[in-house]
Structure 1
Amino acid sequence: METYINLCSVLFYGSAALFSVFLAVCAILIAISNRYPIIMRSRKEKYFMDPNSGKFVEFPSIYDKSTLHLSVIIPAYNEEVRLSPMLDECIAFLEDRAKDGNFRYEIIVVSDGSVDNTVLVAKKYCKQLGIEKFRILELETNRGKGGAVRLGMLSARGAFLLFADADGATKFADFSKLEQSLKQALKSDYLLEPEVCANQMRIAVGSRAHMQDDAVAHRSIFRTILMHGFHTFVWMFAVRDIKDTQCGFKLFTRKAAMMCFDSLHVERWAFDAELLYIAKKLNIPVTEVAVNWTEIEGSKLVPIWSWLQMGKDLFVIWLRYQIGAWDIAQQKQK
C-alpha cells in the first residue's frame, strides 16, 4: 500500500513538474515571438543589377498588378554546380512556350547569401536573356530557403508564381501538370485572362508521394522509419490532406502567394509545412499533383539530422500558433 501511495505521489509531482515546464516554455515562446512576421529587407536587396548596363533597378512588388504570365523563383545557396543544368532545362521550356508571343515570363534567381560563384553563373543567363526575363536578387546574408523564396515571391510580376529548387530534381516540363491543375480549378486560362486568375486563390503543389513505395525499397530501415516519423509529425502538426509537403515545386496564383508569404514566419527548411498550414487556415484550396523527381547529388539536407530538426520545428510551429505566439497577418487585415 505504501509503495502504491509513493508511486502515485511520484506520478502526481512528476506530472505537475512537466506541466510547469510546459507552461514556462509557452510563456517564453510568447515573450520572444513576434505575433506577426517582420520581413527584413536591406536597401541593397530591394534592387537588382542590369549586367548589360551596370545600372541598378528597383524590384516591383507583389502588391502591384501582374504584368506578365509567370514568375519562376529559384532559391540558390552555393549552387554554382547544379544551377546551370537546371536553368538550361527551365529556359528551354519557357522559351519554347514564348515563341508565339502569347506567353511572357520572368526568372528570379535568389542568391541566399552564397559565397561561391552562384551569382556569376546567374549573371551569364541574365546577360543572354535581359532583365525583362531574368533577374537576380542577391541577399546579403543567408536567410534560409523559406526566406529566399519569400523575398523572390514578393518581388515578382507574374499572374502565376512558381518556386522551383535550384537542383533541378523535378523536371521543369512537369510545370504543365501544375499549370493545368490550376486552370481547371479556376475555370479560366491565365494566358487569356491573367488578371482574373491572379486575383483568385489557388495553389498546386508537386508531389513525390506516388514514388514512396519505390523510395522505401531503396532506403535503409532506419531512414524509412525516420521518413514515416516525419510524415507523422506533418500529419499531426501541420496538414493532413497533403502527402508530400516538402517537394520544391509549388505553383501559386498571385493573390494566394501574397497572402501566404506575407504571413510566413519560418525561413528555413520547415517553411513548406507552415506555408500549407497558413493556406489551410486561410481556406486557400491546395491541389497535389504527381511530378517526376530524381535525387540530385549535392543536397544541403543531412537526412537524419535535418528530419529530426524539421520534426522539432513542426511541433514548435504548431505550438506557437496554438498559444497565440504567432498569428496570420492576412487574418489580422480582414
Structure 2
Amino acid sequence: MLGLFEPGFDTMSGVCVLGLMTGALIVISLVTLSHMTPWIKRRRSEYLEPESVYRCREKKEFQKLLPEDRDSHRRYTPSTCYLSVIIPAMNEAERIGIMLDDCCDYLEARAEIQPEFTYEIIVVDDGSTDDTCDIVVQIGATRKNLRVLKLKENRGKGGAVRMGVLHASGKLILFADADGATKFEDFEQLEKELLRTAGGDPLDESFPAVVVGSRAHLAAASVAERSFFRTILMHGFHSLVYLFAVRTIKDTQCGFKLFTRSIAARAFPVLHVERWAFDVELIYLCEKWTVPVKEVCVRWKEIDGSKITPIWSWLQMGRDLILIWFRYTIGVWNDDQPQ
C-alpha cells in the first residue's frame, strides 16, 4: 500500500527541492547584484552647505529647505513664496530656451492677475559641458525670478532635482523637465488636485501631499509610434514598477510632479537613487508612509534630444527598481533622515 504513494512523494520532494534551490539562487543573485551596485551615501550637512546663485551681480545664496537644527520641531524652514519650480538640466542649451519661455509666460501672466501668486524658478545645472548655464542667465536678465544653481559635478537627474528641491523656498514645489514636453499651464490641474487633497485654499504647507502628472491616457497613441522592441521594453518596465515598487500610480516617469513643502522636506533627503529611477523610489516612500499621491493627466509630446539611452538606461532602471524593493525589504536602506 505504501508503494502507491512513493512516486507522488518523490515528485513532491523534487518540486520542494527545486523550489528551495530556485529561491536560494534568486536570493544569492539579489545579494550579489546589491553588492556589485554602489550607491553614494549623502549626509545632511551637504544640504546645509551654502549654495550661491550662479553669476548673480550681488552675491546671493539659495534658501535651505532643511533647518540648521536637526532637532527642530519642524522638518522644514518657513516658505517665502508660493511656488518653487525646479528644472534639472544637463547639456540643454538647444532645448531649455523654449521650455523657459513657456514656463515664464505662464508664471508672469498669472502673477499679474494674482499678486499673491509669488514664485521662483531654479534651473539646476547638472555638470553641463555646454553653455546651458550662460543661456539661462541671459534669459534671466529679461525674465523674473529665474536663477541657476550650478552643481560642481554631475549627480544624475535625481540628484539634480533633489539639490534644487532642498534649496527651494516655496509652499509648493514642482519639478519639471527641461525639454518642455509637458505644457506648463497644466500646472493648474496639479495645483487644483493638490488643494482638494490638502483641504482647500489657503494652502497648508504642513499637509503632506503629492500630485504627479500622467501620460497614461496617451499610452495607446504612443505605442502606435514606437517600435515593437521599445514597446516590449516599456511594458516590461511598467510591470517591474508594479511588481517591485509602486501600485497606485500608472506613470511614475513623467517629469512633472508637485509636492507640498512638508513632504518634500521629508522625502528628498532620504532618497538613495540619483539616476532615472529616482521617481520610483520617491513614490515608493510616499506609499510606504501612506502619503496621499494623486495622478492627473497632462498634455505631453515627445521632444527630440532625450538623454535616455533606449537599452542601457532601461537596464539601469530595471536594476534600480529591483534594488529599491530588495534594499528596503532587508533593511540595507531605511527612511531615516541622513546624519
Which TM-score tier does this pair reach, normalised by the shorter chain? 0.7 to 0.9
Contact 1:36 1:263 in 2 (8 A): no
Task: Classify 1:21/1:184 alpha carbon distance in 2 versus 1 (closer, same or farther; 3 Å).
Answer: closer
Counterparts of 1:26-65 in structure 2, within 5 Å, are 26=31, 29=34, 37-38=42-43, 41=46, 46-49=51-54, 51-53=56-58, 55=59, 57-62=60-65, 63-65=76-78
The residue aligned with 1:141 is 153
| Cα shift at 1:12 | 4.7
Task: Classify 1:43/1:156 alpha carbon distance in 2 versus 1 (closer, same or farther; 3 Å).
Answer: closer
Contact 1:113 1:140 in 2 (8 A): yes
The residue aligned with 2:139 is 125
The residue aligned with 1:111 is 125
Q: Distance in 1 between matches of 2:250 and 2:18?
A: 40
| Cα shift at 1:22 | 2.8
After TM superposition, the runs of 4+ consecutive aligned structure 1 residues lying more than 6 A away are 8-11, 30-36, 42-45
Answer yes or no: is 1:262 the counterpart of 2:274.
no
Offset from partner CA, 1:143-199 (integer Å, 9 cap, x none): 00000000100000000000000000000011011011111112222xxx35xx211
Task: Classify 1:28/1:171 alpha carbon distance in 2 versus 1 (closer, same or farther; 3 Å).
Answer: closer
Q: Distance in 1 between matches of 2:194 and 2:253?
A: 19
Counterparts of 1:70-89 in structure 2, within 5 Å, are 70-89=83-102
Unaligned runs of 5+ in 2: 1-5, 66-75
Q: Distance in 2 between matches of 1:95 and 1:125?
A: 14
Q: Secondary structure at the match of 2:286?
A: helix
CA RMSD of aligned residues (A): 3.1
| Cα shift at 1:21 | 7.4
Q: What is the identity, as a one-letter code, of the residue corresponding to 2:121?
A: I
Q: Distance in 1 between matches of 2:47 and 2:119?
A: 26
The residue aligned with 1:288 is 295
Contact 1:36 1:329 in 2 (8 A): no
Among 297, 300, 309, the residue aligned to 2:307: 300
| Cα shift at 1:95 | 0.1
Among 179, 187, 200, the residue aligned to 2:191: 179
Q: What TM-score, normalized to structure 1?
A: 0.87
Offset from partner CA, 1:211-260 (integer Å, 9 cap, x none): 01111122222211111110000000111110000000000000111111
Counterparts of 1:303-314 in structure 2, within 5 Å, are 303-314=310-321
Q: After the TM superposition, which of the residue ranges 21-30 and 71-80 deviates more from structure 2?
A: 21-30
Q: Distance in 1 between matches of 2:57 and 2:335?
A: 41
Q: After the TM superposition, which of the residue ranges 222-231 and 68-77 deviates more from structure 2?
A: 222-231
Percent identical residues = 49
Among 219, 230, 233, the residue aligned to 1:223: 230
Answer yes or no: is 1:200 the counterpart of 2:207.
yes
Q: Distance in 2 between matches of 1:85 and 1:315?
A: 36
Q: After the TM superposition, which of the residue ranges 173-182 and 29-38 deviates more from structure 2?
A: 29-38
| Cα shift at 1:51 | 2.8
Q: After the TM superposition, which of the residue ranges 33-42 and 217-226 deviates more from structure 2?
A: 33-42
